[in-house]
Amino acid sequence: MGVEIRVEGLTKSFGRQTIWQDVSLTLPAGEISVLLGPSGTGKSVFLKSLVGLLKPDRGHIWIGDKDLPYLPEHQLYETRKLFGVLFQDGALFGSMNLFDNIAFPLREHTKKSESEVKRIVMEKMELVGLIGAEHKLPGEISGGMKKRAGLARALVLDPAILLVDEPDSGLDPVRTAYLNQLIVDLNAQIDATFLIVTHDINTARTVPDNIGLLFRRELVMFGPREMLLSSEEPVVRQFLNARRQGPIGMSEEKDVSELEAEARMGLEVGKLPPIAPQLMPSDGRVRRAQQPPGAWCAAHGITPPPGSFVDDLGRNWAEEWPRYVAAMGPVASGHGQGGPQPAGGMH
């Protein structure tokens, strides 16, 4: 089961350079959240602060009654076991085959027998669609497979929290689509709290339950996907819709004259695009944390942009939802649902 993480007033600087300040957000238990932001805004620094690899200047990271930055070393060590992390580069050991790479945390942190280790490693390899690749070295496999192996290793201690740094970096759009599907499937199966860092807008628009945006050393907004995807806030709008018009410039921030020139030229940001339906687990079940399409907008009196929640086949998920859920039976709980489903092939 996932756990909730409550971040309050978190600030981090290196020397005189403030990376971000006063970041507050709650990662709801079992939900998928995405942290978006231009390159260099400190997304990776944020992930590393969450797991205690970097110490914030001030602020709190609450997990239950534990405030991570202020835990004594031995308690921090214990709390870290709640986390599975996939760093940006995958960080696989080049001289170890995939089996040994994935087994590494088990052999390091547990006293499990080799037969137990084997059972768990094979289970996680199946979960990420890597069966048959046990004996391959990282140098012999594609970027997408490396990410899958890194994910399997992050899952091996059954984390309550999974942090993934730019799963899509270095992958082509097709491989990214497979990996996004895998992330959604994993969330349905293991029910952990997910935080995914990315600057890929398509990932941000279709995968998560919640979206946050880091910009100009601040968390501009964090909340349910429909809140961000229907937001008129200029930075949020510009970023989520990949526009040139808006406050974000080529080198971080536009100056006043650039913004005035845009206004004179009548460059409008245009209409909000439709809110895409959220990716569903590949077996068609509903994730436990998943909200009905349109529910947030309806509860807040916001009319979603025309065409929202309509998929490629023309189905409107907001309308179909009640019938769909009724037909699918109980929502996926992540437990006792007939074991893991292999997610796609090897990519």
Which backbone phi and psi does 314 adopt, to 5 degrees?
A: 85, 5
Pick from 41, 44, 180, 278 the residue near Mg ion by CB under 5 A. Answer: 44
Residue closer to ligand ADP (CB basis): 41 or 231: 41
Residue 27, H or E segment: strand 17-27
Residue range at the interface with Mg ion (CB under 5 A); choices 42-50, 116-124, 311-319, 326-334: 42-50
Nearest distance from C-beta of residue 20 to ligand ADP, angstroms: 9
Residue closer to ligand ADP (CB basis): 217 or 347: 217
Angle between helices 143-155 and 173-190 (to 10 degrees): 10
Q: Which two tokens stand for residue 249?
A: 């410039």
181 interacts with Mg ion by CB under 5 A = no
Q: What is the DSSP string of 188-249?
A: HHH--EEEEEE--HHHHHHS-SEEEEEETTEEEEEEEHHHHHT---HHHHHHHTT-SSSSEE
Rounded distance, CA 234 to CA 269, Å?
8
Q: How many of the chain's residues bind Mg ion (CB under 5 A)?
A: 1
Alpha-helical segments (H) within 285-341? 295-299, 317-328
* Bridge partners of residue 32, in order along the sequence: 194
Nearest distance from C-beta of residue 43 to Mg ion, angstroms: 5
Amino acid identity for residue 234 in this structure: P
Residue 42 binds what, of Mg ion, ligand ADP, none (CB under 5 to 8 Å, by partner type)?
ligand ADP
49 interacts with Mg ion by CB under 5 A = no
210 interacts with Mg ion by CB under 5 A = no
Nearest distance from C-beta of residue 12 to ligand ADP, angstroms: 8
Residue closer to ligand ADP (CB basis): 19 or 184: 19
Amino acid identity for residue 335 in this structure: H
Residues forming contacts to ligand ADP in the complex (CB under 6 A) are 14, 19, 37, 39-45
Residue closer to ligand ADP (CB basis): 169 or 316: 169
Nearest distance from C-beta of residue 251 to ligand ADP, angstroms: 13
Residue closer to ligand ADP (CB basis): 187 or 198: 198
Nearest distance from C-beta of residue 261 to ligand ADP, angstroms: 28
CA distances from 278 to 127, 172, 179, 317, 332 (A): 21, 21, 15, 9, 16
User: If you search the block for the tokens 């046990």, which residue do you land on?
Assistant: 134
Nearest distance from C-beta of residue 45 to Mg ion, angstroms: 8
Residue 206 binds what, of ligand ADP, Mg ion, none (CB under 5 to 8 Å, by partner type)?
none
Nearest distance from C-beta of residue 44 to ligand ADP, angstroms: 3
Rounded distance, CA 85 to CA 162, Å?
6
Footprint of Mg ion (CB under 5 A): 44
